[in-house]
Structure 1
C-alpha cells in the first residue's frame, strides 16, 4: 500500500512539473480551492510525500490542473506514442496545436474557453 502512495506522489510531482505548477502545498491548496475543492496544506503535503492519497474529487481536480487523466495520475499507465498528424493538416496549424499542447493546464483551459467563445455564433444585438 505504501508503495502505491509513493508511486502516486512521484506521478503527481512529475505531472505538476510538466504543467509548470510548483509542487508546494500552499500553492496547490489555493489552486484547488479555486476549483471548489477544499483541502488543507497538510493533506497536500501528505500526497506529495506519499503518506496519503487524495479523495476522488481532489484527484479529479489535480488531474484537471495538470492535464493528466485521473486514472493515469492515480495508477500510472502505458505511455502511447503520439499518432502521426493527418496529412491535410497545414504546418502552421500543426505549430499552433503543438504550442497549445505545451501550455500548462490552466492556460489550455483559457485558450479552450476563448476558442469556444470565438466559435459560437455572434449574439444578436437588441
Structure 2
C-alpha cells in the first residue's frame, strides 16, 4: 500500500483533486485515471502506483506522499506546494524565500550557516548568549 496523507481533511483532499485535475488539463492531458497512472508511472522511479490509487487522488479521497507530489508537479509544470496546498501557499513560500535570499539578509544568512557549522557544544554557548541578549532587549522594550 502506498503512503498517502490520511490525516488530511476531506476538504483538503477535494481541493487537491481539483488542483490535480486542473493541472492535468492545463498541461494538455485529460484528467482521467488511466492517463494519470500511465504518465505518472513512466516518470516515477519508485514502485508503480495502481489505477485505484490515482483514481483516489482524482476523486479527492487521498493525497499522494511527498515524493509522488514532486513527480506530479515536475511532470505537470507546477510548483509542488501549489499542487498540494494551493497557489496562496505557494505565493507565501516564494515571498519567504525571497526575503531570505534578499541580499540585505546576506550577513544574517552567513551567520546562521556559520552557526550551524559549529560543533554542538559551541552552538549551545552561542545560543545561550543570543537568548540572553534577546531577554535583555525584551525587558528594555517593556520598560522593566
Q: Give the TM interval when normalised to the shorter protein.
A: 0.5 to 0.7
* Residue 50 (structure 2) pairs with residue 40 (structure 1): yes
Alignment of 1:10-49 (within 5 A): 10-35=18-43, 36-37=45-46, 38-49=48-59
In the TM superposition, residue 24 of structure 1 has moved relative to its aligned partner by 1.3
Could you tell me how far apart the structure 2 residues matched to 1:26 and 1:16 are?
Answer: 12
Structure 2: gaps spanning 5 or more residues: 1-8, 92-144
Could you tell me how far apart the structure 1 residues matched to 2:87 and 2:34 are?
Answer: 28
More helix by share: 2
SS at match of 2:61: coil
Alignment of 1:86-101 (within 5 A): none
Could you tell me how far apart the structure 1 residues matched to 2:26 and 2:35 are?
Answer: 16
* Residue 71 (structure 2) pairs with residue 61 (structure 1): yes
**CA displacement, residues 6-38 of structure 1 (integer Å, 9 cap, x when unaligned):** 000001111111101111111111111111251
TM-score by length of 2: 0.52
In the TM superposition, residue 53 of structure 1 has moved relative to its aligned partner by 0.5
- Structure possessing the higher radius of gyration over alpha carbons: 2
Could you tell me how far apart the structure 2 residues matched to 1:44 and 1:18 are?
Answer: 18
Looking at both structures, which has the greater relative contact order when contacts are Cα pairs under 8 Å and sequence separation is at least 6?
1
Cα RMSD over matched residues? Answer: 1.5
Q: List 4+ stretches of structure 1 deviating above 4 A.
A: none
Could you tell me how far apart the structure 1 residues matched to 2:38 and 2:87 are?
Answer: 28
TM-score by length of 1: 0.59
**CA displacement, residues 26-72 of structure 1 (integer Å, 9 cap, x when unaligned):** 11111111112510110100000100111112111110111010000
Structure 1: gaps spanning 5 or more residues: 81-126
What is the match of residue 5 of structure 2? none
